[in-house]
Amino acid sequence: MNSRAPDHATIAALGSRRRAVAARRCRRTIESNPMHKRLNVNIDLQNLERLSRAELRTLWERELADKPPPSLGRDVLALAIAYARQERLYGGLSKRISKEHDRLLARALRDGPTDTHQPSTTTPLPRTGTILVREWHGTTHHVTVVDDGFLWNGETYRSLSRIARAITGTTWNGPRFFGMREAKDKTSENCRGS
């Protein structure tokens, strides 16, 4: 048994030899892999930045065998072409991930936007000075649009819905009550009376 401990030079030499052997083995493994040839292919993503929108549309048709949607801008066209090239080179998403994307997209389309900062899709209010007229049980009601809301019977209200409730005694959508929005089904309005 050798009681003498190895010196630092011996340890370093053994370490560098092991690293060299490991590197050779790794290189052989990579080079024998058929994917290695594909990994070295230049898919030319840099030149997409330099192409015009018309050139990108032509390239889209050539590479994706389909016409691009007319609304897509230059940046989105370049991104889609780059993605398609990378997908061909490295493979696409797994089936599991693809199904999950489809499920999430369907849910988003079904549920609508989740961002609370989106502009409202309701009917815009009329301009100040507009007079809204509605007849209810033989009485004609005039509501004037003012800067800070709506004027009815000498009193200012912040919403048309409050005025509609004061007139009918029941809960109504104010813009619908005053004819600014179509009723979803005509029977509900007929049941409440007009």
Q: What is the pLDDT of residue 162?
A: 93
What's residue 171's pLDDT? 92
Indicate the domain borders of the chain: 46-111, 131-192
Does residue 85 surpass a pLDDT of 70?
yes
pLDDT confidence of residue 112: 64
The residue-averaged pLDDT of 173-192 equals 67
- Averaged pLDDT score across all residues of the chain: 75
Query: pLDDT grade, residue 167 (50/70/90)?
Result: very high
What percent of the chain lies above the pLDDT cut of 90? 21
The helix (H) or strand (E) run that includes residue 45 is none
**Do residues 144 and 151 lie in contact, with contact meaning Cβ atoms separated by under 8 Å?**
yes
pLDDT of residue 113: 59
Would you say 160 and 123 are in contact if contact means Cβ atoms under 8 Å apart?
Answer: no
Is residue 175 over pLDDT 80?
Answer: yes
Q: Are 161 and 172 in contact (CB under 8 A)?
A: yes
Instruction: Report whether 56 contacts 78 (CB < 8 A).
Output: yes
1-27 average pLDDT score: 51
77 vs 8, residue with greater confidence: 77
Is the pLDDT reported for residue 8 higher than 70? Answer: no
pTM of the shown model: 0.35
**Dist. CA 6–CA 63, nearest whole Å:** 62
Average pLDDT over residues 28-54: 64
pLDDT for residue 26 is more than 70:
no
Average pLDDT over residues 61-79: 88
What pLDDT, in 10s, does the model give residues 43-60? Answer: 677 788 888 999 999 999
Distance between CA atoms of 39 and 37, rounded to whole angstroms? 5
